[in-house]
Structure 1
């Protein structure tokens, strides 16, 4: 595994790369200074075929975006083996966000995530989300920036839950996320931030319940394939 801070790459190339990720694009449009703060807490990770990125039981606050390649999700077999030869519980493809459930629920990771054995040059962007976790600390990030983060998280989670709902409309979980109360108070406020964070955690728990039943294998790709971007943008 090779881990590099974004500062190791030309800034113009980094900007072009991250412009395809809604979270970074939205923060950059709102504030160049806040964008720089988030960049300093982000890194690119390169994985060899079959190499593990995350392990079940890990506790951290990193959220990841797959830029290139393919990742497999496995559950430990009980003897500590990752079960790399078994069929993966789920497959993560370019454009997808992962690691967000553990971060939002402050729980240990529930599965191993590794580069697929046939995936060459797997590239992952990691963001240290301790920046966003303390809702009362605005020493580094403004309320507006944290609002962008939680709006993106809520949108992503609702999208994934709608995919499950469309596939299993009669399931008891199908309408769970639609029953959550939406925020109707003052916009762009600390009250909205607290409400969005609470909503994101509730949505994450519902998605975790779906995943427990279906292994998260029913989710479709969330974004376009980014595999052509990395080589050209980071050179």
Structure 2
């Protein structure tokens, strides 16, 4: 596994890459300085075929976006050949993952490895520890944290709607719709707390869905990133 900070790459190429990821684009629109803070907490990870990225039981605050290749989600750290052929879920380019563990501050429930057939797997990792303390605005300010949790809520609700559309009669189908949207004052700490609480509640519901069905068919709505390496390495 080869890990490099984004600062190792040309800034204009990094900007083009991150502009197709809603979280980075929205934060940059709020504040260029806050965007720079997040860049310093981000890294690019390259994986060989079958190489492991995350282990079940890991505890960290990293959020990931798959940029190129394919990842397998498995329940065990070991991946003998039969299990590798039948992963619990498949992560494809454009998908955000690691959000449930990050939001709930719980150990990761599964192991993530590069597909044995994927020769070129690239992942963007973001250290989200700065978002966890809702009262600390020393580095990330209130508007930035609001952007983050609004994005998390939107992403989680989208994934839950996908499950609902596939299994409309399931007992979990309407669970997320029973969580009331925030309707109070905007752009204040009250909204931040409410959005963070809602993101955690949605994450727990999604965790229940994943435990039963896996998450291989869920896709985030990020744009295709298949050409980013040529830009960054040119």
Deviation at 1:83, TM superposition (A): 3.9
Q: CA–CA distance in 1 between the matches of 2:19 and 2:184?
A: 31
Would the alpha carbon gap of residues 5 and 220 (structure 1) be closer, same or farther in structure 2, given more than 3 Å must change? Answer: closer
1:81 aligns with 2:73: no
Correspondence 1:169-184 to 2 at 5 A:
169-184=168-183
Equivalent residue number for residue 70 of structure 2: 70
- Flag structure 1 segments of 5+ consecutive residues without an equivalent: none
Deviation at 1:219, TM superposition (A): 2.0
Equivalent residue number for residue 45 of structure 1: 45
Would the alpha carbon gap of residues 220 and 138 (structure 1) be closer, same or farther in structure 2, given more than 3 Å must change? Answer: closer
Equivalent residue number for residue 121 of structure 1: 120
Q: CA–CA distance in 1 between the matches of 2:211 and 2:5?
A: 34
Equivalent residue number for residue 28 of structure 2: 28
User: TM-score normalized by structure 1?
Assistant: 0.95
Q: CA–CA distance in 2 between the matches of 1:83 and 1:167?
A: 31
Deviation at 1:7, TM superposition (A): 0.5
Question: What SS is found at the alignment partner of 1:173?
Answer: coil
Deviation at 1:121, TM superposition (A): 1.6
Equivalent residue number for residue 5 of structure 1: 5
TM-align CA RMSD: 1.2
Deviates more, 1:136-145 or 1:219-228: 219-228
Question: What SS is found at the alignment partner of 1:53?
Answer: strand
Correspondence 1:1-235 to 2 at 5 A:
1-76=1-76, 81-83=78-80, 85-86=82-83, 87-220=86-219, 222-235=221-234
Deviation at 1:25, TM superposition (A): 0.5
Q: CA–CA distance in 1 between the matches of 2:17 and 2:81?
A: 30
Q: CA–CA distance in 2 between the matches of 1:84 and 1:200?
A: 36
Q: CA–CA distance in 2 between the matches of 1:58 and 1:194?
A: 26
Would the alpha carbon gap of residues 48 and 170 (structure 1) be closer, same or farther in structure 2, given more than 3 Å must change? Answer: same
Would the alpha carbon gap of residues 177 and 84 (structure 1) be closer, same or farther in structure 2, given more than 3 Å must change? Answer: farther
Q: CA–CA distance in 2 between the matches of 1:6 and 1:85?
A: 36
Would the alpha carbon gap of residues 220 and 139 (structure 1) be closer, same or farther in structure 2, given more than 3 Å must change? Answer: closer
Question: What SS is found at the alignment partner of 1:46?
Answer: strand
User: TM-score normalized by structure 2?
Assistant: 0.96
Q: Which runs of 4+ in 1 moved over 3 A?
A: 220-225
- Flag structure 2 segments of 5+ consecutive residues without an equivalent: none
Would the alpha carbon gap of residues 221 and 139 (structure 1) be closer, same or farther in structure 2, given more than 3 Å must change? Answer: closer
